[in-house]
Structures are given as structure tokens and as C-alpha cells.
Structure 1
Amino acid sequence: MYHSFMTMKQLDDQIRAQIFKALSDESRLSIIRTLYYSGKELSCGEVGEKCNIVKTTASYHFKTLREAGLTATRKDSRTKYVSLREDTFQTYLPGFLETL
């Protein structure tokens, strides 16, 4: 039982480290802030425009945020939409979004 607890704790620490790494960039913080205040999913293009981030750089940031579990991406035809994974924020960073 103790070993399982440590394994879960170690997994949580890995997730936290990935989250903090993803949030350590000002552009990614801007993306999170934009999504939070929009209150809805936005197209990747809309987010890039609002955050003044070029498409290729934005794609990299979206991937980093998605891999950290902070955002979700949905494709509709040729348009990709991104939204916050508020469950991740509530689990690992409760109250964080309200400070943006």
C-alpha cells in the first residue's frame, strides 16, 4: 500500500513539474489568460491574434500546453479549437486562474 502511495505521489510530482514548465513562458501564460477570460473555446487563429503570436510559434505553445494537460484541442473541418482543461487547474493549481 505504501509503495502505491509513493508511486501516485511521484506521478503527481511529474505532472506538476510539467505544468509549471508549461506555465513558465509568458506567451503560454497569455494564451491561458486569453482562454480563461473568453469563457469559451477559441480557434487557434483567434488565440494567436489576441496574444500577438505568429502561427508557427503558437502551434508549439499549444502543443506544450496540451501535453501538460492544461488545454484541449478539437478539430472541426479545417479549424482547430482550443479550450482550457479547468479540471487540471482545479486539481493541481486551485485558484490560479482567478489570479490572472
Structure 2
Amino acid sequence: MSVVIDEAHPAAEELRLSKVLAALSDPARLTAVRVLAATEEVACTELQQRAGLTIGRSTFSYHQRVLREAGVLQARVRGARRMLSLRRDDLDTHFPGLLDAILDTAPEML
């Protein structure tokens, strides 16, 4: 099975803290990232279900794009499915402790 990597991902050295923080500032995106942090890779439709997001498909696609362009998640196409994973290694390398601090914060405190 072939795997195609979407070209819209910034290189690790291009990650910017302001973009990452802006991407994580939305409650729906943060919820999706929390689910991704607990798994290695998940199909985008399954991620929306696991996160309990009751938003439209186009809105969820927009949130995925924001997270992908900020360098928070990686999208891969496998057959007819878009698989998503968290770019934890890149984020931890460039912003040590940031992702854990955000994920460890209670949702109501954000």
C-alpha cells in the first residue's frame, strides 16, 4: 500500500511558536490534539468521532488544515483515507515541554 505525504506541512525548522499557539487556541482543535496525543495515528473521520466534535465536515477540514500548516499534525493519504498523527517529536524538539504543558492543563482552565 502506498503512502503519500501531503506537501502542505512545514519543515521542522520552519515551526513558529506563534503559529503553534494560535492553532492550539481553538477548543475544537485542542480537543482533536488531545485525542491525537493518546494515539499514534487515526483516520480523520475517526478522529472527529473520538473527539466528540459535532461540527460539520468542512469545518473540521478547516481545523485540520490550520493544525497541519502550523506543524502540529501530520496528514498522510493511505488509499482513500487521510491518516492524522501528532508531530510530537518536532514540537518537543523545538518547544520543549510546551505540548505537555498545554495537554496537562485542565480544559476548563484554558
Regarding TM over 0.5, the answer is yes
**TM bracket (short chain):** 0.7 to 0.9
How many pairs are equivalent? Answer: 88
Between the aligned partners of 1:22 and 1:93, the Cα distance in structure 2 is: 17
For CA contacts below 8 A with separation 6 or more, give which structure has more relative contact order. 2
Q: Does 1:16 align with 2:21?
A: no
Which 4+ residue blocks in structure 1 deviate beyond 4 angstroms?
none
Between the aligned partners of 1:57 and 1:85, the Cα distance in structure 2 is: 22
Gaps of 5+ in 2: 1-12, 106-110
Match of 1:6 in 2: none
TM-score by length of 2: 0.71
Match of 1:60 in 2: 62
Match of 1:96 in 2: 99
Gaps of 5+ in 1: 1-10
Match of 1:3 in 2: none
When Rg is computed on C-alpha atoms for both structures, the one with the higher figure is 1
Q: Deviations over 1:17-68 (max 9, x none)?
A: 111110110000001000011x210000001112224311110011000000
What is the RMSD computed on CA atoms of the aligned residues? 2.0
**Closer, same or farther in 2 for the Cα pair 1:26/1:55, shift >3 Å?**
same
Shift of 1:95: 5.0
